[in-house]
Every structure is written in structure tokens, then in C-alpha cells.
A and B are shown apart, each in its own frame.
Chain A
Amino acid sequence: DTEVTQTPKHLVMGMTNKKSLKCEQHMGHRAMYWYKQKAKKPPELMFVYSYEKLSINESVPSRFSPECPNSSLLNLHLHALQPEDSALYLCASSQPGSTGELFFGEGSRLTVL
């Protein structure tokens, strides 16, 4: 069983909807990540939070808005998405200063109609 939990597993939304993806970890990690993955491609980094502060934003469009309420939770708020944003969204966590190993959740499959 994964120690990084993502909800929902599947999400279908229209282009005018507002929805959120949620991620939770209880490993005491202080770094959390959002990745976007298209079919047959490697994960693409979107955001990194380190000690609850946004440390990396890989030029992601503003229709994606991350939030880290505390060290265990990471949200990704979605608004006015485009069909090309349909993808698997992966959350991961790690411990800063460690070997850099990331622990991944099982992902949220997003479909934008």
C-alpha cells in the first residue's frame, strides 16, 4: 500500500468547473511535489513545496493553483482547465536533505471535457 494517498482517483470536469485534487502523506516528509504525466511520457514537475513554502513553480499556467495547508497535506486547485490538461496528476513526497528518493501516490486521473 502506498503511503501517499491521493483523492479522487478519477475526476471528470468541464472547462468552467472548479475542482481540487488532494494529497496526504504521514511519513513526516517536509517536501511535497505535484507532477503531471501524459500517456507514455515521463512525469513533468509542476510544483515543489519545501517546509510548506512553494520553492519551485515550473512555469505552470495560473489555472493550476497549489496549496500546502500543513506538512502532511497538498492540494491542487483547478479552474478553467483546457482539454489538453487531461492527464494523470501525481503527488510525491520526500525528506529534504535525504537521498532525493520520492515516494509517489497512485495519482488522480483528470479528464477535462
Chain B
Amino acid sequence: AQSVTQLGSHVSVSEGALVLLRCNYSSSVPPYLFWYVQYPNQGLQLLLKYTTGATLVKGINGFEAEFKKSETSFHLTKPSAHMSDAAEYFCAVSDRPSGSARQLTFGSGTQLTVLP
């Protein structure tokens, strides 16, 4: 079984400050890990993903995340927050795929507020 824990349901940062959203996972096999962003009344958009290879993953809108196997973590960071980053962020884990459709297990989400 796999699970995802997002620490902090609400995070507030000032514009221009570092953004750090925390995600820890539990998986019986090496995982595939994802961060999605959701703006109000919209669907989920993929920010970045870790599959194999380089553990520091860069995504869209200046976000990046580092896979740390020893800490079972996949924290999301951005050096300088922008007002447009205000949204809900979901971390998700997927088992290594076989030929069948895979499921994502989502964390509970973190609402990011950016203060002017």
C-alpha cells in the first residue's frame, strides 16, 4: 500500500520569499512521485514528476522538488513566490506501472497563500 502525507494544510509566504511545501510518502516499491497544482474551479495541472534518474526535478513556473529516498520525502520549492502561485498543491504517488492503468494516491493538499 502507498500513502502520501502533506505537512501543513495552509502555508502563507510573502511575495518574493521562499516557498517550501512538504510531502512524505510511503510505498513498498520505488515510487513515481508527482506534484499537481489546482487553481480555483479548475482541474489539476502537473507541476513536475520524479520517475527515475536525477533526484532534483525541475518543473513549470520555477518550481522544483528533490526526491530523498532516505527521508521518503519529495518537498516542493520555489526560490521566490509570486502572487500567481496562490493555489492548492497536491503531492501524489504512483506505483511502478505495469501494463494496466495506474492509480495516483493523493495527499490531502496544501493551500498556498502569497501575501503582498
CA A48 to CA B94, docked complex, whole Å: 15
How many CB-defined contacts (below 8 Å) exist between A and B? 80
The answer on a CB contact under 8 Å between B42 and A96 is: no
Chain B residues whose C-beta falls within 8 Å of the C-beta of A31 in the assembled complex: 100-102
Q: How far is the CB of B116 from chain A (nearest CB, A)?
A: 23
Q: How large is the interface on B (under 10, 10 to 19, 20 to 34, 35 or more residues)?
A: 20 to 34
| Cross-chain contact B44 with A90 (CB below 8 angstroms) | yes
**Extra A-B contacts (15), CB below 8 Å, given A43-B44, A45-B103, A105-B43:** A31-B102, A41-B108, A42-B109, A48-B101, A50-B101, A55-B100, A55-B101, A94-B102, A98-B97, A98-B102, A100-B97, A100-B103, A102-B44, A103-B46, A107-B41
* Contact residues, A33-73 vs B (CB, 8 A): 33, 40-43, 45, 48-50, 55-56
Cβ-defined contact, B32 with A107, below 8 A: no
Interface residues of A (CB under 8 A from B): 2, 4, 6, 30-31, 33, 40-43, 45, 48-50, 55-56, 88, 90, 92, 94, 96-107, 109
- Evaluate whether A97 and B97 lie within 8 angstroms (CB atoms) in the complex, with A88-B41, A104-B45, A105-B43 already known: yes
